[in-house]
Amino acid sequence: MPARPLVLLLLLLLPGVGGAADISLYALFKDKAILHVDGTRRVLVTGAESPEGVKLVSTDTQSEEAVVELNGKRETLKLGVVISAFQSAARESVTLYAAEGGHFFADGFINDQPMRFLVDTGATSVALSSRVAERIGIDYKRFGKRSWSQTASGVVRIYIVGLKSVRVGNATLYDVEASIIEGDHPSQPLLGMSFLNAFEMKREGDKMELTKRY
């Protein structure tokens, strides 16, 4: 039986596509969406870009939402929500200040769940304990790739997963690689290089500025 599309009457105004472009997300499938861009029907699969420069990043039929990108800026489109002023991207930046002991901490979100990170440039990826992963609903045993890692405490089992989003301040990255470490450690989730590599890092004394690369 053919899949039935989720019909979305969702409009947004996108400046910069040959002027102000009217875009409606008309139908949503797994890894595919139908949009109307200035009245022109566009069928896009995930990763494809329309002639007007609108890229379909992902679709989620269960939550009835899609992520689109224009000029480097992404927006999540939800059923019944109207988004206007989808501006071309400015460089997102975050300013952090060292805590006592010289460590930098950052308040943010993993998959829209609040999190306090320890900034760790020595960590190859975002890292969190299995206890934290379970608390925020990450099914790492089902969807993660099992591996091993050498730590100060010895060799530990880890699971490599893709996080839907990681946000710190006003800066958000999507599809961020993370390591889930079995047990209670690290007690503080680590903001590692799978996130930090997307930023230019500048430190002056107890101040660190992260500016998103173009």
**52-96 pLDDT tens trace:** 788 888 988 887 787 888 777 777 766 544 444 454 445 678 889
**121-161 pLDDT tens trace:** 999 999 999 999 999 999 999 999 998 887 666 788 899 99
**152-171 pLDDT tens trace:** 667 888 999 999 999 998 88
> Residue 66: what pLDDT?
78
**pTM of this prediction exceeds 0.75:** no
Strand-pairing partners, residue 121, are: none
Section 6-29 average pLDDT: 54
Superfamily of domain 93-212: Acid Proteases (2.40.70.10)
Q: Locate the domains of the chain by residue range.
A: 6-78, 93-212
Measured between alpha carbons, how far is 36 from 44 in angstroms, rounded to an integer? 11
Rg of the chain, C-alpha, whole Å: 20
Distance of CA 4 to the CA centre of its chain: 28
Residue 195 has pLDDT above 80, yes or no: yes
Residues of the chain with pLDDT > 90, as a percent, come to 40
Three-state DSSP string of the chain: CCCCCEEEEEEEEEECCCCEEEEEEEEEECCEEEEEECCEEEEEECCCECCCCCEEEEEECCCCEEEEEECCEEEEEECCCCECCCCCCCCCEEEEEECCCCCEEEEEEECCEEEEEEECCCCCCEEEEHHHHHHCCCCHHHHCEEEEEEECCEEEEEEEEEEEEEEECCEEEEEEEEEEECCCCCCCCEECHHHHCCEEEEEECCEEEEEECC
> Residue 205: what pLDDT?
87
Beta-sheet strand order (sheet of 32-37): 6-15, 20-29, 32-37, 40-45
Q: What are phi and psi of 16, to 5 degrees?
A: 105, -5
